[in-house]
Structure 1
Amino acid sequence: MSISGPSGVIDTGGTRGTDGTGGGRGARERLVVIGGDAAGMSAASQARRLRGPDELEIVAFERGHFTSYSACGIPYWVGGDVPDRDRLIARTPEEHRKRSIDLRMRTEVTEIDVAGARVRSRDLGTGAEAWTSYDRLVVATGARPVRPELPGADAPGVHGVQTLDDGQALLDSLAVTEGRRAVVVGAGYIGVEMAEALINRGYEVTVVNRGREPMATLDPDMGRLVHTAMEGLGITMVGDTEVTGFLTGDDGRVRAVVTEDATYPADVVVLGIGVRPETSLARAAGLPLGEHGGLLTDLSMRVRGHEDIWAGGDCVEVLDLVSGRERHIALGTHANKHGQVIGSNVAGGYATFPGVVGTAVSKVCDLEIARTGLREKDARRAGLRFETVTIESTSRAGYYPNAALMTVKMLAEHRTGRLLGVQIVGREGAAKRVDIAAVALTAGMTVEQMTMLDLGYAPPFSPVWDPVLVAARKAVAKVRRAAP
């Protein structure tokens, strides 16, 4: 059916009648998905696996040029480790359409009408607008890079990196850049990964960071290890510095990054300040948002207070299983799980996403960086008393060739000894050891219980006492000494 919406915009209809009521028992229902990446298309694909086209129509909107891709792989594509863009794409629009998903590319949803159970969209090529009604709605609008409101921040040559379109724009910019000076603003995950990418491409790289140390997801003492290693790789680190603007040349292109104390010449600038949930649509529709700006859902990923609306991916807040608080974490691992849960639920099944412990790994050149659980300031904010230990060990038995040093920091709750968090910085074999701690955190284990974990051992893979277990033993001793 087709009816005229506001301002003459066409309504593409659905199973609901013109008064917004349901289409009746047995009618084909319509699922509308906003966002064509990990959470959105995982939800659509899972729903399609469980319900066929005769039962469920699926319409998905994506404003970009690509679907179902690895945003986490963009720095490695830019740096040349991944040879071409298509390696990052898990499923193309054509592949989704072959599965009876009506995927509309380069089409942006501009409004959610919750009362009318419909969304307004605009074709970015033609400008045509339409209303599409839904029986069930999935909001998977992702996150957007933080772009400072400073002079020159929108100049050509200043790039955020969040989507494949962003990555392509950066590569196109590098192709026409004659100079070899790059400035990365921010030293979080994207910042350090893009610093590596630009070093690999032969650029002279300066990282300008608001904090004293890189990787604010680590405690400062562990961040200092990253700082030292990055300088050893030839990256100039500038900490405790606020960017105040970007200078441009006569052609309007960026030429320098200006801080409170200095000016850093730049032929290209990459913003690695972080991301925020892209929830402008949700906010305008009156959907509930948390303190970090992300959508709030229940364990089934249903938006709180809205029976027929689900949300997942980088636009939502999730439960931190260690602190018991909501937090925003933009990771493809969570987004894909959210999509699986949502797809099962919208198709009539039942699944839940219990929460996260905050596990993340990264690297800059050969330095591996990992964390899970709480930092010291997180534990204080949660009102927890805790003990910390930091140890140095090796990735393999000390006598085995190429054993690499790593530093492990562990937080344990005062008196109970409950594991609260682990951070690891080291060379080959360091980062993935954090998974041991992630499982222990999820299980609510104490550091004493951890000391007897039956981990795999052979000299090429680990010392007799794995570094994580060495830290756990030290933590047990400190908890016991601190007990009243």
Structure 2
Amino acid sequence: MDMSAARERLVVIGGDATGMSAASQARRLKGPDELEIVAFERGHFTSFSACGIPYWVGGDVDDRDDLIARTPEEHRARDIDLRLRTEVTEIDVAGGRVRARDVDSGAESWTSYDKLVIATGAGPIRPDMPGSDADGVHGVQTLDDGQALIDSLTRTRGRHAVVVGAGYIGVEMAEALIKRGYEVTVVNRGSEPMSTLDPDMGRLVREAMEGMGITMVDDAEVTKVHTGGDGRVRAVATQDAEYPADVVVLGIGVRPQTELARAAGLPLGSHGGLLTDLAMRVRGHENIWAGGDCVEVLDLVSGQERHIALGTHANKHGQVIGTNVGGGYATFPGVVGTAVSKVCDLEIARTGLREKDARRAGLQFEAVTIESTSRAGYYPNPSPMTVKMLAERRTGRLLGVQIVGREGAGKRVDIAAVALTAGMTVEQMTALDLGYAPPFSPVWDPVLVAARKATAAVRKGSS
């Protein structure tokens, strides 16, 4: 009997977290005699931490290779046919095949598949304006992007940097550039940085950034990138002013890279991401899966679809997809929207809904804010912490938490993330048996202090 005739082929588009996690998990469940795996990656690297790029640029991470979890050689040693510098340009759903182009030679070829994984990720949003693609203007999404930025910083004689956008990427890159000795200006469309927070909490982030020497320009939008005779950026302009720039970093955010999927007629959501079922299978397509930054996920708090680009979700998606492709069964139920970041020693965390998210979902709520410290007041070096909590009116269900503070603040958001996932009320949270000792928290942990205040607000609002 010819065993090769029964062998299926899995094709993976994208060689980072989701794609290679899916390929690796499928390989654990099925050997090369049962499943052939072909993976296409248009860049030079696989299985890398995009979240670590700002820390590499800023010098906290010494070497680029430290951000690589598994090299191409390691994947190939596991019988995965990994093809670097090869970009998939078309998905033929009816024919069960993909067309790929060698980035260096331009040669194209078709590869058939029995099962397909789409893990094309997300790309940095580039403003639609003159000069946005000029030399010296950088998005930061892949290791190739990070290397290009570092090379640009090395070549640049001037010391002026402009960061466009003040979300997670913008804030982290602003700090990285400060560490490299640049004068940094951040141009932000919003009234405060970190639009993932409510403005009252974002204000705390702005104050910290200004304390680092970063110039914050809020309520402004870049309208043009000016270049010199050599074609390299020299300044950025808003409607009201112009700012010198020897390098520009785009931190506006990312959008799903789903052009291939759109052209193939696959279902996309309102945010432009692929729509999947709980098994991460593309809706309406039995043998196509998708995950990572190119999909939309269910928000367990609001019940709505969201696009969230995070490595944590991407790796989980890959595990789920690989298990299902390999003949097992796994699901990804959704997210509560947890994220944590830092600027200098200020830790920034959030989970669940902001005020505007809750209003958009049609929820009525109470919002409370408390000031506390990271440890007992009498223990040396307690640091301030601000906690904001949203609870649903009448029911008291926890809806969201935002925390801004110094050491010990950021990871406290995990308490709230677990409570959100469990559907707890703020009153139930007040009874949580959290770890306590003076070096770690006050007797009443700041999150529980906020829960007590939210409980009182819910009771008052319901009376």
TM range, normalised to the smaller chain?
Answer: over 0.9
Q: CA separation in 2, counterparts of 1:469 and 1:88?
A: 36
Code of the aligned partner of 1:268: V
2:289 corresponds in structure 1 to: 310
1:240 corresponds in structure 2 to: 219
Q: CA separation in 1, counterparts of 2:105 and 2:140?
A: 27
TM-score normalised to structure 2 length: 0.99
1:291 corresponds in structure 2 to: 270
Q: Is the 8 A contact 2:91 2:261 kept in 1?
A: yes
- Correspondence list, 1:1-80, <5 A: 27-80=6-59
Q: CA separation in 2, counterparts of 1:194 and 1:304?
A: 36
Is 1:186 matched up with 2:165? Answer: yes
Is 1:145 matched up with 2:124? Answer: yes
- Correspondence list, 1:413-452, <5 A: 413-452=392-431
Q: Which runs of 5+ in 1 are unaligned?
A: 1-22
Superposed displacement of residue 79, structure 1: 0.2
Superposed displacement of residue 26, structure 1: 6.6
Aligned mate of 2:145, from 166, 174, 177: 166
1:10 corresponds in structure 2 to: none
1:20 corresponds in structure 2 to: none
Q: Cα deviations across residues 54-81 of structure 1 (Å, max 9, x unaligned)? A: 0000000000000000000000000000
Code of the aligned partner of 1:81: D
Aligned mate of 1:97, from 69, 76, 88: 76
- Correspondence list, 1:189-338, <5 A: 189-338=168-317
Please, what is the CA RMSD of the aligned residues? 1.0
Superposed displacement of residue 475, structure 1: 0.3
**Paired residues, what number?**
462
Percentage identity across paired residues of the two chains: 85
Deviating beyond 2 angstroms after TM superposition, the runs of 4 or more aligned structure 1 residues are: 23-26
Q: Cα deviations across residues 311-340 of structure 1 (Å, max 9, x unaligned)? A: 000000000000000000000000000000
- What is the DSSP-based 3-state SS (H/G/I as helix, E as strand, rest coil) of the residue aligned with 2:6? coil
Superposed displacement of residue 229, structure 1: 1.0
Aligned mate of 1:370, from 349, 356, 363: 349
Is 1:157 matched up with 2:136? Answer: yes
Is 1:86 matched up with 2:65? Answer: yes
Q: Which runs of 5+ in 2 are unaligned?
A: none
TM-score normalised to structure 1 length: 0.95
Q: CA separation in 2, counterparts of 1:37 and 1:182?
A: 29
Q: CA separation in 2, counterparts of 1:26 and 1:454?
A: 58
Aligned mate of 2:385, from 406, 414, 432: 406
Q: Cα deviations across residues 266-318 of structure 1 (Å, max 9, x unaligned)? A: 11110000000000000000000000000000000000000000000000000
Is 1:453 matched up with 2:436? Answer: no
- What is the DSSP-based 3-state SS (H/G/I as helix, E as strand, rest coil) of the residue aligned with 2:375? coil
Q: Cα deviations across residues 70-116 of structure 1 (Å, max 9, x unaligned)? A: 00000000000000100000000000000000000000000000000
Superposed displacement of residue 242, structure 1: 1.4
Aligned mate of 1:480, from 437, 442, 459: 459
Superposed displacement of residue 238, structure 1: 0.4
Code of the aligned partner of 1:41: M
Q: Cα deviations across residues 154-203 of structure 1 (Å, max 9, x unaligned)? A: 11111010000000000000001001111100000000000000001011
1:380 corresponds in structure 2 to: 359
Code of the aligned partner of 1:414: R
Q: Is the 8 A contact 2:3 2:33 kept in 1?
A: no
Superposed displacement of residue 230, structure 1: 0.7
Q: CA separation in 2, counterparts of 1:86 and 1:397?
A: 41
Q: CA separation in 1, counterparts of 2:79 and 2:294?
A: 26
Q: CA separation in 1, counterparts of 2:211 and 2:201?
A: 16
Q: CA separation in 1, counterparts of 2:24 and 2:252?
A: 32
Code of the aligned partner of 1:362: S
Q: Cα deviations across residues 418-445 of structure 1 (Å, max 9, x unaligned)? A: 0000000011110000000000000000
Q: CA separation in 2, counterparts of 1:204 and 1:44?
A: 43
Moved more, 382-391 or 125-134: 125-134
Superposed displacement of residue 126, structure 1: 1.4
Q: Is the 8 A contact 2:352 2:400 kept in 1?
A: yes
Code of the aligned partner of 1:126: S
2:102 corresponds in structure 1 to: 123
Superposed displacement of residue 25, structure 1: 10
